Chain A
């Protein structure tokens, strides 16, 4: 029971990573396919501006899935990471270069430098989801046995199912990104960009759907148990939901109802993942059921407590970030509030007092931490020493410098 709850957390994280992070990857693909000239530039800039404030938060869903998985299902993670070392390493490499591209964006507007950065970003935006998708295909087609690198290092992820799931991951990202970016363009009132991404959303939507159908055929021959799972019971229900939501999204995009299309597109993708999970039951790896894979009760409870407690803090924070993003809070500068009133620094006069207090604390801390041999004394020693450091910082008052005679009155 407990392990099912934790698995649901991990799957929810995976859905959010696909729906949010996947769109991030898709935006990278659209940057690559943006074409030359000012129109291409506009597409690249639009994709960048829409994603830059949220890419880090979107990326962290992957970390969330990873850490929950290795805490709650350590044997699974050990087996996956060792057998699938190649695709996971390549995905990691892609993550390095994507992050690097974001770090570099603020540094330059020179066209040829931007071109290098954009291309790096785009290529790694295709590589990473492909490899992660291929890894999912390896699990689905039962090519990862239990144990340290017990599976084949190559055929585990180079096989019909993995190639299909890899391509599907790239296509899903492109589709989601096109829908989201069309919605953003509509909000900004940019008709050209709106049309451009509407067309892209329609094309990739049809393509993704075709891939998903082809996928069923591939699994019929390559991963029969998943095929059976997807054509009966919960799996079938998820496939139907995904198909309906996908078709609904196309209709909404066709009629330029982008805000709703955002939701239904995300739903279509979430249903695919739910269907996979349902079809995979009850084993995680060949011969390893979820229950057998799970960590002990204490650890599972600790994970659940940590996720719930973290969720209480995170949910409103994420809400704030996406509210700012989706309501256009990041689009244009608001009227800057007047600078606050001019307070003169007050603590210069008291600096001597702080300095003496800092010295006293430092001395007391030294005695407690370095002379006395007792754990409690050490604790207070550390606290006293940190207090001494804070007081010394205050005494020095680094921001209240007297004017240097050599450059009086200039702010350079």
Chain B
């Protein structure tokens, strides 16, 4: 690039008074998009499972369910298409220095993601408009690429995020990247693997609990036919088998963070000083290098992070104050995620146990209100998890390579676009909710035969 990139090189902070607003705008865009990604990962598989049951048994109830879910699927996919497009626009609009400096390193991930998005869009068109036009088998087969593409797309996006947390596959000389190896950057970073598995399971947990929660509301209102029970049991089972596994995968992710991003670990545990045999604090508030009002569990952090109760854990004091993320934001988000995740795993185990031992859906009265809450709670945990990893990476956009204030645009008017986007997304969320409600109250077709 012959020095022309000098105009862009990420060596100096950009004069931008609204950096925080730019970050919030990006965070808002993610928070709206990511629950939709969960549906992109998990929902096609659930719809196809139900359709497969129809192919196997010929029972109309499965076909009805799959068709009605397809309408939900296409609504959420449309919302995902636009919110995903906005994210790709924002890469340039908000962070032009990030894109122009590192586009050649991470861009390939998005290019491949674009292809899987393409595949998804093509087959969603065929699947949705092909219900009465294709043979049942051909229709089922047309759905498979949707499920595959949903997973492939999230793999690619997560590979980019993993790279931002654990950058490699390039060298930076005078603000210019050289020796670029995009494949190694995307798939050779250690964060990619745990982030992928963690997010994939989160997709099933969020989708499963939200969909099951909708039918739990129906049960509380007295709608409890065979259709509703199947519609509740399928997503609930998917979420229930994923939730306990998620606890172990989360633990694996945290150990990786402990090795590769000690600042983030110290921030999410609120560990002010480097400590041998470090404790964990539940709840509380981090101030002046200590967690106050928390419940201390001695030596647990050392044990969880390094499998030894006497291991030394690096504290925040080991790093320059300029390099620290906002500790309480990260820490509270982390505790929220872990707390909700644990409760969901317990709820799941209770459900699996009842289902296995008694062979029926739980009869306990508390179970269905809990299920109604589990859906929104899982979304909160999802977003809290992303806050943990993304805010925990601050002040870096590319960990220890480029700071967020070096990446941001110089253009004015961020507060305006932030306000407009917030309004547009409020309308979007409201309209999607309204659409889903409309679809839900449409009466079921009369049973045939």
A residues engaging B (CB < 8 A)?
52-54, 56-57, 59-60, 62-64, 66-68, 70-75, 77-83, 85-86, 88-89, 91-93, 95-100, 102-104, 106-108, 146-150, 153, 287-288, 292-293, 295-296, 298-299, 302-303, 306-307, 310, 313-314, 317-318, 320-321, 324, 329-330, 333-334, 336-337, 339-345, 351, 355, 362, 365-366, 369-371, 373, 378-379, 381-382, 385-386, 388-390, 392-393, 395-396, 398-399, 401-404, 406-407, 410-412
Chain A residues closer than 8 Å to B417, beta-carbon distance: 85, 89
Q: Are A104 and B132 in contact (CB under 8 A)?
A: no
For residue B432, CB closer than 8 A to chain A, the reply is yes
Contacting residues, chain A, for B228 (C-beta < 8 A): 412
A100 touches B227 (CB 8 A): no
Residue-wise interface mask of B (114-158) relative to A, using a CB-CB cutoff of 8 A (1 in contact, 0 not)? 110111011111101110111110000000010000000000000
Tell me which residues across on chain A come within 8 A of B91, comparing CB atoms.
Answer: 70, 81
Main secondary structure of the interface of A (DSSP, over half): helix
Check A96–B82 contact: CB distance below 8 A. yes
Please, which residues of chain A bring their CB within 8 A of the CB of B226?
A: 401, 403-404, 407, 410-412
Q: Does B181 contact A (CB under 8 A)?
A: yes
User: In chain B between 79 and 100, which residues have their CB closer than 8 angstroms to a CB of chain A?
Assistant: 79, 81-86, 88-89, 91-93, 96-97, 99-100
Instruction: Kindly list the 5 A-B residue pairs having the minimum CB-CB distance in the complex, ordered from nearest.
Output: A71-B107, A81-B92, A78-B100, A74-B103, A412-B225
**Is A149 in contact with B409, judged by CB distance below 8 angstroms?**
yes
B242-287 residues with Cβ-Cβ distance < 8 A to A are 242, 244-245, 248-249, 251-252
B293 at the interface (CB under 8 A from A): no
A341→B55 CA distance, assembly (Å): 8
Contacts A92-B85, A146-B4, A314-B119 given; indicate if A385 touches B62 (C-beta within 8 A): no
Interface size on B, residues (CB 8 A): 130
Does B5 count as interface, using CB distance less than 8 angstroms? Answer: yes
Instruction: Name which residue of chain A comes closest to B437, CB basis.
Output: A107
Identify which of A148, A355, A406, A407 contacts B7 (C-beta below 8 A): A148
What's the Cα separation between A345 and B132 when bound, in Å? Answer: 26
Bound CA–CA A388/B263 (angstroms): 34
Chain B neighbourhood of A334, CB < 8 A: 132-134
Whose C-beta in chain B lies nearest to the C-beta of A371?
Answer: B307
Interface residues of B (CB under 8 A from A): 1-2, 4-5, 7-8, 14, 49-50, 53-63, 71, 74-79, 81-86, 88-89, 91-93, 96-97, 99-105, 107-108, 110-115, 117-119, 121-126, 128-130, 132-136, 145, 177-178, 180-183, 193, 197, 223-230, 233-234, 236-238, 240-242, 244-245, 248-249, 251-252, 307, 352, 355-356, 359-361, 409-413, 417, 420-421, 424-425, 427-428, 431-432, 434-435, 438-439, 444, 447
Q: Which A residues are CB-close (under 8 A) to B49?
A: 399
User: CA separation between A104 and B242, bound complex, in Å?
Assistant: 32
Give CA–CA (A344, B193) in the complex, Å.
40
- Asked, given contacts A306-B108, A365-B248, A412-B444, whether A295 binds B103 with beta carbons under 8 Å apart, the answer is yes
Check A56–B57 contact: CB distance below 8 A. Answer: no
Known A-B contacts A298-B182, A314-B122; the reply to A67 vs B113 at CB < 8 A is: yes
Question: Complex Cα distance A59/B86, Å?
Answer: 13
Q: In the bound complex, what is the Cα–Cα distance between A398 and B252 (angstroms)?
A: 29
Nearest Cβ on chain B to A404's Cβ, whole angstroms:
6
**Judging by beta carbons under 8 Å apart, are A149 and B411 in contact?**
yes
Measured in the bound complex, the distance between the Cα atoms of B14 and A385 in whole Å is 46
Q: Considering the chains assembled together, what is the distance between the CA atoms of A339 and B57 in angstroms? A: 9
A53 to B91, CA, bound (A): 29
Contact of B248 (CB < 8 Å), options: A296, A318, A370: A370
Residues of A within 8 A of B111 (CB): 64, 67-68, 71, 303, 306-307
Nearest-Cβ distance from residue B180 to partner chain A, whole angstroms: 5
Are A321 and B122 also in contact (CB < 8 A) when A100-B428, A337-B136, A411-B61 are? yes
